[in-house]
Amino acid sequence: MSTEDVLIHRHGAVGHISLNRPKALHALTLDMCHAMSAALSEWAEDDGIEAVILDHAEGRGFCAGGDINLLRNSALHDGGVSGRKFFHDEYQLNHQMMTYPKPIAVFMDGITMGGGVGIALPCRFRVATENTRFAMPETGIGLFPDVGGGWHLSRLPGRLGQFLALTGARLDGAECLWAGIATHYLPSEMIADAKARIIEKPGRIAGILAEMPGTPPKARIEDNADKIARHFRSDRYEDILASLEADDSDWAQKERDTLGTKSPQTCKVALRQLATSALMDDFADNMAMEYRIASRVLLRPDFAEGVRAVIVDKTNDPKWDPATPEEVGDDLLDSIFAPLPPEEEWKPL
C-alpha cells in the first residue's frame, strides 16, 4: 500500500514514516492508515529494522485528526458504512502501534489532535516541542475522544483526562511533558539533529533524547491542577457542571461556559468511556468498546450537526439533540455502548 500522502523511507536500520498532507494539517485518510499499517507490518518482520521514526514532512501540524468530511458524508449518505470502515481500520492501526514490538519515536511538532493523538500516544518515545498543540476536541462536534482516547486519557493523573475529554482544552509542549503525554521535550530546531542521531544509533533512542538539551518552560496547567482534580472528580456530568457552577472564580466560569458549547450526549459518553476503560487491562478491549461507540455515535444527530456548525458552516451554533445533559438518559448510553452483532465487532489486525 502506498500513497503520496504518507512518505515511507528506510535509513539503514530505521524505518521512517512522514505524514505528507500539509493542506489538511496531515489529517489521516483511510489510504494513509493502510500505508502506515503495511509499512509497520513489513518492518516488524524485518530483522534489519531496529526502530521507527514517525513525523510530518512539512507544514505546521503533526496530524490534525481524521477524515471528518468522509465521516460526515457517510453519516448523511451511506448509513455510516464507509465511516465505520474508516474507524475500524484506523483503530487497527492504533492497536498495531500500541503493541508494536520495536520502538517508535514520534515527533509531535505542531498540532496533534484527534486521530493524531491516536498515532502519537502509542509510541514509546513521544517528543513535544514549543509548537505542540495537543487536544481531543471531539465533544465540540458531537463525537467522542476515540482512537484509544479512553485508554490514554483515563490513565492521566488528577482527572486531567476527564478535563481534556470534556472541554477539548489544548496543551502546549511543556504541559504535555508535565502531564506525561510526552516523554521528552526538545526545541524544534533540534529535531533534525535528534533524528540524525537516532538513525546513526537506533538502539540508543532513550539516551539520545535524554542527553539533548531542552528545558521546557513551566507548564501553565500545573497552576490549575488542583481545580481540575476537584471540579472534574465525578463520573456524573451533572456533578461536574454543578461543581463549576458553584465556584464563582473566572477559571470555573470559563470552563463552565466551554462545556455549554459541547454535545451533552458525547460528554456523557466520554465520561462513561473513560470510567470503563480505566478498569480494562487490554488495549484491544478498549478499541472494541470505542468501535461500538463510534458505530452508534456516527449516526446520532449530534455528529452531522456538530460538523456542520463547527467545520462546514463555521457558525458555531450547533443544535444538540438531546439538548441538555438531563435528557441524555442511561438507556441511550446503554444503547451506544451495547455489543454489536458478533460478525460486526472490531478485531485487531
DSSP element (H, E) containing 303: helix 301-307
Tens digits of per-residue pLDDT, 33-78?
999 999 999 999 999 999 999 999 987 899 999 999 899 999 999 9
Cell 441538555 locates to 324
Q: pLDDT per position in the chain (349 positions), as tens?
A: 457 999 999 999 999 999 999 999 999 999 999 999 999 999 999 999 999 999 999 878 999 999 998 999 999 999 999 999 999 999 999 999 999 999 999 999 999 999 999 999 999 999 999 999 999 999 999 999 999 999 999 999 999 999 999 999 999 999 999 999 999 999 999 999 999 999 999 999 999 999 998 789 999 999 999 999 999 999 999 999 999 999 999 999 999 999 999 999 999 999 999 999 999 999 999 999 999 999 999 999 999 999 999 999 999 999 999 999 999 999 999 999 999 999 999 999 9
Three cell numbers written together for 328: 441524555
Predicted local distance difference test score (pLDDT) of residue 228: 98
- Which residue in the list 110, 114, 115, 149 is annotated as catalytic? 115
SS3 content of the chain, % helix, strand, coil (to 5): 55, 10, 35
- 165 closest CA partner among 59, 259, 229: 259
User: How do beta strands 61-63 and 6-11 pair?
Assistant: unpaired
Task: Work out the burial of residue 101: count CB atoms within 10 Å of its CB; fewer than 13 is exposed, 13-18 middle, 19 or more buried.
Answer: exposed
Tens digits of per-residue pLDDT, 116-131?
999 999 999 999 999 9
Give yes or no for a contact between 288 and 165, defined as CB atoms under 8 angstroms apart: no
DSSP 3-state assignment of 176?
Answer: helix
User: Is 115 part of the annotated catalytic residue set?
Assistant: yes
Predicted local distance difference test score (pLDDT) of residue 2: 58
Strand arrangement, sheet containing 104-108? 6-11, 14-19, 51-56, 104-108, 125-128, 184-185
Cα distances (angstroms) measured from residue 17 to each of 40, 43, 72, 238, 243: 9, 11, 28, 43, 44
Q: pTM value? A: 0.97
- Which residue in the list 67, 109, 146, 290 is annotated as catalytic? 146
- Which residue in the list 5, 90, 109, 138 is annotated as catalytic? 138
- Which residue in the list 65, 66, 80, 150 is annotated as catalytic? 66
Predicted local distance difference test score (pLDDT) of residue 59: 78
For helices 264-277 and 160-167, the axis angle rounded to 10 degrees is 150
Give yes or no for a contact between 243 and 259, defined as CB atoms under 8 angstroms apart: no
DSSP element (H, E) containing 126: strand 125-128
- Position 236: which residue type? R
Q: Could you tell me the CATH superfamily of domain 6-344?
A: 2-enoyl-CoA Hydratase; Chain A, domain 1 (3.90.226.10)
Three cell numbers written together for 299: 449516526
Give how far the C-alpha of residue 177 lies from the chain's centroid of Cα atoms, to the nearest Å.
Answer: 16
User: Is 66 part of the annotated catalytic residue set?
Assistant: yes
